[in-house]
């Protein structure tokens, strides 16, 4: 009997020791795993940088097209400057399609539709709430802006109440525009346009706005990116960009948080706006000049929705100047469709228009 108790005690001691050893091993494994994960992240970041450098070297090896900026010597490779901005390319603007009627090209030429009543709507969410449920061009008057109404395109689908601030669909409009043109806006509200940085500031200064970006590639795939607390500062502050939490399916290009080390030079958070005639970026050259569009460049970008419209998607150029959303299709794919639209975060959808609303009065279960 005494032998049995001793055996039992021995077994218990062995079991306890084994479990302690297991706990220690599992702790060591967790540490090792987390260390390996960190290493993996760093290696991925290095691979990314190498890929960018490789692509750049390949481009430098290719014979230059005659329209490339003449006699520009590419600056030497530098670890601080590991982006793909080397030489200013002079891409020809995309040809205009003869089918398009551009008699009403500029936003200023748009005939604004009068609001339904005599009240002034601050944005498309108020137009929607006033009962207008058709997408189209409406007059809105942002608070704090000039008293004159601005014509904007209201998207009454996708829950409704969206004020469009940018759209690319076919490349008919050049987005390589001056500071003054980006300030006041350009293009056709029903087609391709930029709403204007002053308008962007006045609209987003009215309250808490959500920015939703819709993207489509030439294969018909669609993605979206959404940012809370989207604001654009005034002109004195170079229309500086700020945004909050990301959600969506396209990847967080604006903060470039997808790879460690990338956001330091590719994040657009807090960046001032730059155009070819106003360099506010953090690059020693001019991102807007090289990438041929106005944007909140850093050194230079992870997203550039105002880039050159390269038809067909994949493109080759001296810099990554396409219509780019890096975490989805990379720097060397130019997107087919982009839409940037804003709506107050407190906007309440009708149940009829809310795809997420719980439908009542559905067919009863059998
Ligand atoms: Ca610069």
Helix (H) or strand (E) run with residue 152 in it: strand 150-155
Tell me how far the alpha carbon of residue 299 lies from the centroid of ligand 1, in angstroms.
8
If pLDDT is split at 50, 70 and 90, which confidence band does 145 have? confident
Measure 300 CA to ligand 1 centroid, in angstroms: 9
Residues of 244-278 as b/e, b for ≥16 C-beta within 10 angstroms? Answer: eebebebbbbbbbbbbebbbebbbbbebbbbbbeb
Measured in Å, residue 239 CA sits from the centre of ligand 1 at 16
Average pLDDT over residues 9-35: 69
Cα–Cα distance measured from residue 206 to residue 186, given in angstroms and rounded to the nearest whole number: 22
pLDDT of residue 8 exceeding 70:
no
Ligand 1 centroid to Cα of residue 271, in Å, is 12
Residue 101 Cα to ligand 1 middle (Å):
37
What's the gap in Å between 177 CA and the centre of ligand 1? Answer: 17
Lowest-pLDDT choice from 47-56, 103-112, 316-325 = 103-112
pLDDT at 116: 45
Please state which of the ranges 232-246, 252-266, 289-303 shows the lowest mean pLDDT: 252-266
Confidence grade of residue 54 (pLDDT, cut at 50, 70, 90): low
Q: What is the 278 CA–ligand 1 centroid distance (Å)?
A: 9
Average predicted confidence (pLDDT) for the chain: 80
Ligand 1: distance of its center to the CA of 360 in Å?
A: 56
Q: How far is the CA of 282 from the centre of ligand 1 (A)?
A: 5
Q: How much of the chain, in percent, has pLDDT values that exceed 90?
A: 59
Q: What is the pLDDT at residue 200?
A: 97
Q: Please state which of the ranges 52-61, 175-184, 247-256, 300-309 shows the lowest mean pLDDT.
A: 52-61
pLDDT tens-digit readout, 191-248: 999 999 999 999 999 999 999 999 999 999 999 999 999 999 999 999 999 999 999 9
Cα–Cα distance for residue pair 322/276, rounded to 1 Å: 15
């Amino acid at each position: 009997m005494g032998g049995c108790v001793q055996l039992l005690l021995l077994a218990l001691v062995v079991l306890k020791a084994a479990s302690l050893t297991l706990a220690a091993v599992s702790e060591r494994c967790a540490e090792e795993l987390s260390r390996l994960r960190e290493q993996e992240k760093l290696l991925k970041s290095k691979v990314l940088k190498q890929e960018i450098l490789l692509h750049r070297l390949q481009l430098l090896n290719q014979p230059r097209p005659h329209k490339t900026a003449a006699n520009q010597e590419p600056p030497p490779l530098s670890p601080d400057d590991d982006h793909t901005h080397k030489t200013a390319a002079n891409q020809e603007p995309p040809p205009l399609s003869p089918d398009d009627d551009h008699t009403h090209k500029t936003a200023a030429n748009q005939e604004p539709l009068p609001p339904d009543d005599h009240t002034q709507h601050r944005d498309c969410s108020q137009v929607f709430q006033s009962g207008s449920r058709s997408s189209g061009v409406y007059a809105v008057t942002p608070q704090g802006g000039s008293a004159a109404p601005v014509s904007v395109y209201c998207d009454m689908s996708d829950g409704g109440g969206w004020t469009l601030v940018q759209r690319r669909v076919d490349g008919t409009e050049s987005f390589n525009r001056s500071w003054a043109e980006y300030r006041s806006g350009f293009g056709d509200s029903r087609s391709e346009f930029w709403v204007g940085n002053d308008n962007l500031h006045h609209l987003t200064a009215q309250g808490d706005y959500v920015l939703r970006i819709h993207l489509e590639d030439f294969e018909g795939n669609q993605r979206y990116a959404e940012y809370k607390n989207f604001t654009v500062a005034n002109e004195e502050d170079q229309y500086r960009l700020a945004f909050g939490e990301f959600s969506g399916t396209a990847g967080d290009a604006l903060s470039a948080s997808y790879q460690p080390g990338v956001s330091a030079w590719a994040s657009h958070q807090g960046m001032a706006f730059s155009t070819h005639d106003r360099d506010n970026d953090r690059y020693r050259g001019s991102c807007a000049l090289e990438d041929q569009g106005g944007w909140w460049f850093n050194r230079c970008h992870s997203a550039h929705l105002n880039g050159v419209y390269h038809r067909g998607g994949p493109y080759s150029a001296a810099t990554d100047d396409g219509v780019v959303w890096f975490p989805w299709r990379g720097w060397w794919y130019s997107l087919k469709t982009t839409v940037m639209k804003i709506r107050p975060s407190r906007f309440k959808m009708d149940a009829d228009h809310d795809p997420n609303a719980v439908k009542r009065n559905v067919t009863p279960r059998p």
